[in-house]
Amino acid sequence: MDTTLQDPLVGRLLDGRYRVDARIAVGGMATVYRAVDTRLDRVLALKVMHPALATDAAFVERFIREAKSVARLSHPNVVGVFDQGAEGAYVYLAMEYVAGCTLRDVLRERGALPPRAALDILEPVLAALGAAHRAGFVHRDMKPENVLIGDDGRVKVADFGLVRAVGSATATTGSVLGTVSYLAPEQIEHGTADTRADVYACGVVLYEMLTGGKPHSGDTPAQVLYQHLSTDVPAPSATVPGLAVELDELVAAATARNPEVRPYDAVALLAQLREARAALRDEQLDAVPPQARSGARDTTDDRTSVIARAVPAEAPVHAHADTDADAHQVLHTNRLPAPEPPPASDRRRRPPRGPLLLVLGVLLALGLGSGVWYINSGQFTRVPAVLGQTETEATKRITDAGLEVGTTKRAFSDVYERGTVMAVDPAPGERLRGNGTVTLTLSRGPELVKVPNLKNKPLADARRVLAKEGLVAGVITQKFSDTVAQGAVIASDPEPGTERSPDSAVALVVSKGSPIDVPDVTGETVDDATALLQDEGLTVVLAPERIHSPETAGSVAAQSLAEGSRAAEGDTITLTVSKGPRLVEVPDVVGETVDDARTALEDEGFEVEVKKSFPYLGDEVTGQSVEGGSTAPEGSTVTITIKGL
């Protein structure tokens, strides 16, 4: 059934200009349509905000503001934004229409890619992100779904943060909902995302292209988030032996957990990619990964669900993937029929080069795969009964029967417990050939769950309670509290008892404990200053370098938290020790006017006093308290004299 027939926008002329032909992607924030600009007679994509959200003035304002910003970003590898407008309750963006597929489609059906193909895809992605970074934009949601590979071989990056989560969660919290596999540790821990967060995500994407699987996996999004914070991304060669060490180093640099160690932005990572590529031999670039490994690809936190829609054979394949964080539902058209593949020996002699040949190679491989299924068909096997079992139990039982487990789907259920199998395709008892594939649908539990009361719970315990309820901790903020113990939860957003969809993020406010007023310790000895600060519950470290200052040598010249600042127990204050005042040569100002003498002395950092004998004539300096050419401490006072009669 074609679900687009039920959409009121399909067939309508929007804003007197855009004829909406078909719905191609659906998300929680917006819907994407294929449309025709009747003025310019060109096909484009319309991204239309859901009418319910159009009543939120702040959200609409941000939608329009970010659309204008991205429209100014002109780059051949960025999906262009042509227009923005509104008609009634429909607020929309007119965007470039890309016919082809997404990188997710390629990885799902091809698995690991040869290094040359992976680098061919990542290079234009980094070029696009580099242009955005140098223009002041951060994508914040890089993943294979947002990398489009056109039928002409061009690679484009889509969705530069045009639609973000609304309500209580921040934009980063919204991203956590659907893209946990690509979040940088600082996004998870602090809610911050700069250019280095995009670099981290690109490193994960490169790992996935080289190995066919994500670096971190788990039964829940919370487990994946924890691994991002606590575990380094493994070397790709640990999964695909034989990969060059340069590729391992490239992934390690991009996915360093400390953002200070990563390349600063996509431009810097692109330079490292090209350097690594130049060091690889052709046989290393064209090494074909063992595709048997692709069957173990992890999709635990891949929230994209695919809905097939039949189209005429001559229609293009549209690759716009909606990245709305709290829905992630994508409507894809069926693929074009693939031409017959060349002989295997011919393919080995002439490996595909460039993105265009990569896409053709993937399509050929898919066409060949369907034929192999029939050629290698063996005896029929009945699909075992696995309803109600965990994913691990069901997978083992299916593989023990000689069948394979395909892409796992997820859906809500009031009957089956969260994480158990609620549906099987083909159904249990149906017959498949020996190497047939079974698709499992796992229960996400009830469609709505209640936010638990987390007040006074330590943060680690709060995370576990949320995970047990099917929710995930979102942005963590800290706040002083005289009533809640340090490290425990003060409040949650949404509040306890609020109903939310499973896998929704809950923002937490965590106590920093009672505030401490930082005392002034400048001028004190290091021992006295340290004792005073430690008595207040603060941690003291000394800066490695001493500095010149008016304070006595060996005393405290500066402190990292100024007097009156509020700190939490255990916070660290850095003390800088004085080397004493800097000695400066005193200029000779005898014979100068008072104003010139004052300027000369103050330029060298001295204080100036003027001493006059009454009565006096003229304005000429006849003496100075420190002889010109000698040295005196910077900041000390030099007295100049004007004698009288």
**Spatial separation of the C-alpha atoms in residues 6 and 3, rounded to whole Å:** 6
Encode 182-222 in three state secondary structure.
HCCHHHHHHCCCCHHHHHHHHHHHHHHHHHCCCCCCCCCHH
Across the strands, what pairs with 176? none
One-letter amino acid for residue 404 of the chain: E
Residues 273, 362, 178, 124, CA torsion sign: positive
Whether the bond between 426 and the residue before it is cis, its omega within 30 degrees of 0, is: yes
Residues with Cβ < 8 Å from 448, sequence gap 6 or more? 499, 500, 501
Query: Looking at 105, 120, 141, 248, which residue is catalytic?
Result: 141
> How many Cβ atoms sit within 10 Å of the Cβ of residue 485?
12
How distant, in Å, are the alpha carbons of 227, 311, 315, 457 from that of 461? 17, 50, 53, 6
Is 139:132 a contact under the CB 8 Å cutoff? yes
- Residues 404 and 435: their CA atoms lie apart, in Å, by 6
- 8 Å CB contact between 39 and 17: yes
Alpha-helical (H) ranges within 217-353 are 221-230, 245-254, 266-278, 282-285, 344-349
Query: Which one, of 412, 413, 378, 384, lies nearest residue 398 by Cα?
Result: 384
* CA–CA separation, 161 and 135 (whole Å): 14
Cα separation, 517 vs 570, whole angstroms: 13
Helix, strand, coil percent values for the chain (each to nearest 5):
30, 25, 45
Let me know if 596 is a catalytic residue: no
Q: Among residues 174, 179, 250, 178, which one has the least CA distance to residue 209?
A: 250
Q: Which two tokens stand for residue 189?
A: 């821990």
Q: Which has the closest alpha carbon to 638: 625, 628, 622?
A: 625
> What's the one-letter identity of residue 593?
T
Q: How far apart are the first and last CA of the chain?
A: 111
Q: Does residue 413 contact residue 443 with C-beta atoms inside 8 Å?
A: yes
Residues in the chain, overall count? 645
Active site residues: 141
